[in-house]
Structures are given as C-alpha cells and as structure tokens.
C-alpha cells in the first residue's frame, strides 16, 4: 500500500514539473491519453459486465481526472458488492477488484422474496439458487446481521438452520434442519449459544425436540 502511494506521488510530481516547464501555449495543446481499459473482477461474468457498463456511462476521459466518488457511488449501489478497491494503472487503465457479498438467508418483504447479504443489502433471488434459511417476522436487516454475527462466532453454522423466527420482543427462534427448535434469549451471546450446541451434541439427549434458553443461566429441554 505504501509502495503504491509512493508511485502516485512520483507521478503527480512528474506531471507538475512537466507542466511547470512549458509555456501556456503548449499547455493548451496537451492531451492526456484517454482511459482504454477498465477491468472488474470478483463477480461472475454477467455481473462484472453490468457493473462495467454502469461505470463506462460516466464517460471518464483520462486517469488524471477520475472521480473516484462517482465510481464508488455506482459500486456501492450494487447489492452484490461487499468490499472493493479501485486501482489506477497509469497511463490509461483502471482495475476494480470486488469481494462479493455472502448470502445469508431469504426474507419476504412486501410480498416479494429477497436474498439478505452479509453487506446488509437485499438482492433479487435470481442471484443465487443456494439453499438458505428463511426468515419469518419483520426484523431490521442490521438486527439480523448482528444476530448472524453471533452465530458465526459460535459453534453453530447457518448451514444447520432451516428457518429463523423473529419476534416483536427482539427475540429469535431457530428451527434446525434436524427439526429441533431452539428458543433463544433476547440477550443472546456466543457463550449461551455454545452451551446449547454442547447439549445437542451430548448423546444423553438424543430425543430432544425443543431447547428453551430464553431464561438466563437456565436451559429447559423438551422431547
């Protein structure tokens, strides 16, 4: 990163020295080479192409007057993008590297089903045919992201979950693919979720159908 910044500084210094060494008449005749190549990587072929077309609509002339904010606005409006980096390659190329969001679940909003990404954005279901848990209820997306962060930190995996239920009290239930239901506390922590995991993996509790962990420091098992 420091090396790249150093290269940029050297290039800018070169341009300033170059411009300062010529007269105004010559300055008006200078034409920097137009951007000839913009590459985007990280999405699939069609998704990369769609994003490229949106960026090309900006009609960027040359690399010295690239407005990164304009490009960033277009990239940030794309629900598939988790993170990205815009790299200028002098004299006439841009390289945009994308990290694609991970789809966590499906949710129905206003009678339409969406994919919920780890970036907190909603995408059309056409972007993935992967089997994902279904969210019932009306959580805010940032509430759901915080909830899944706890799951990722625990010994559980989203791959084990069939359905996710959200209640107005801000509490969650999980229905696992093995048909066991977990009733979780509003104040869920990684530690409490790991306790539930250990119980479910104890051979002494093979017939458990419901694990109620809503009360602090108390777990109730029902078969």
Residues 43-85: tens digit of each pLDDT? 999 999 999 999 998 887 778 878 888 999 999 999 999 999 9
CATH number, domain containing residue 133: 3.40.50.11690
Answer yes or no: is 194 within a domain.
Answer: yes
**86 and 147, same domain (yes or no):** no
**66 and 87, same domain (yes or no):** yes
**129 and 96, same domain (yes or no):** no
- Mean pLDDT over residues 109-128, rounded? 96
Last residue of a domain, one of 80, 100, 120: 100
Residue 32's pLDDT is: 60
**87 and 151, same domain (yes or no):** no
For the chain, percent of residues with pLDDT exceeding 90: 67
**70 and 145, same domain (yes or no):** no
Whole-number Å distance between alpha carbons of 11 and 3: 13
Q: Is the pLDDT of residue 28 over 60?
A: no
The pTM (predicted TM-score) of the whole model is: 0.81
Distances (CA, A) of 162 to 31, 134, 165, 175: 60, 7, 10, 6
Distance of CA 146 to the CA centre of its chain: 13
Residue 59's pLDDT is: 84
Last residue of a domain, one of 100, 123, 138: 100
Q: What are phi and psi for residue 112, nearest 5 degrees?
A: -125, 140
Last residue of a domain, one of 50, 68, 100: 100
Is there a contact between 118 and 102 (Cβ–Cβ < 8 Å)? yes
Distances (CA, A) of 208 to 120, 156, 194, 202, 217: 34, 17, 16, 10, 19
The range of the structural domain enclosing residue 152 comes to 103-222
**80 and 129, same domain (yes or no):** no
Residue 48's pLDDT is: 96
**159 and 211, same domain (yes or no):** yes
- Mean pLDDT over residues 96-121, rounded? 97
Structural domain total, the chain: 2
**69 and 151, same domain (yes or no):** no
**68 and 172, same domain (yes or no):** no
Residue 87's pLDDT is: 93
**110 and 85, same domain (yes or no):** no
- Mean pLDDT over residues 194-213, rounded? 90
């Amino acid at each position: 990163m420091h090396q790249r910044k150093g290269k940029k500084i050297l290039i800018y210094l070169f341009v300033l020295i170059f411009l300062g060494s010529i007269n105004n008449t010559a300055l008006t005749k200078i034409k920097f080479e137009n951007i000839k190549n913009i590459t985007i990587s990280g999405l699939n072929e069609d998704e990369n192409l769609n994003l490229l077309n949106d960026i090309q609509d900006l009609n960027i002339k040359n690399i010295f007057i690239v407005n990164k904010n304009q490009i960033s606005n277009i990239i940030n409006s794309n629900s598939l993008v988790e993170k990205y980096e815009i790299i200028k390659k002098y004299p006439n190329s841009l390289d945009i590297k994308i990290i694609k969001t991970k789809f966590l679940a499906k949710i129905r909003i206003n009678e339409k089903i969406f994919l919920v990404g780890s970036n907190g954005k909603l995408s059309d279901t056409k972007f993935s045919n992967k089997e994902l848990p279904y969210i019932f209820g009306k959580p805010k997306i940032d509430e759901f992201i915080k909830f899944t962060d706890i799951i990722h930190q625990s010994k559980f995996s989203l791959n084990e979950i069939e359905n996710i239920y959200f209640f107005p009290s801000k509490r969650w239930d999980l229905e696992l693919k093995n048909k066991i239901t977990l009733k979780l506390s509003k104040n869920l922590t990684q530690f409490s979720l790991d306790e539930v995991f250990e119980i479910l993996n104890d051979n002494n509790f093979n017939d458990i159908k419901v694990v109620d962990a809503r009360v602090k420091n108390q777990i109730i098992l029902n078969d």
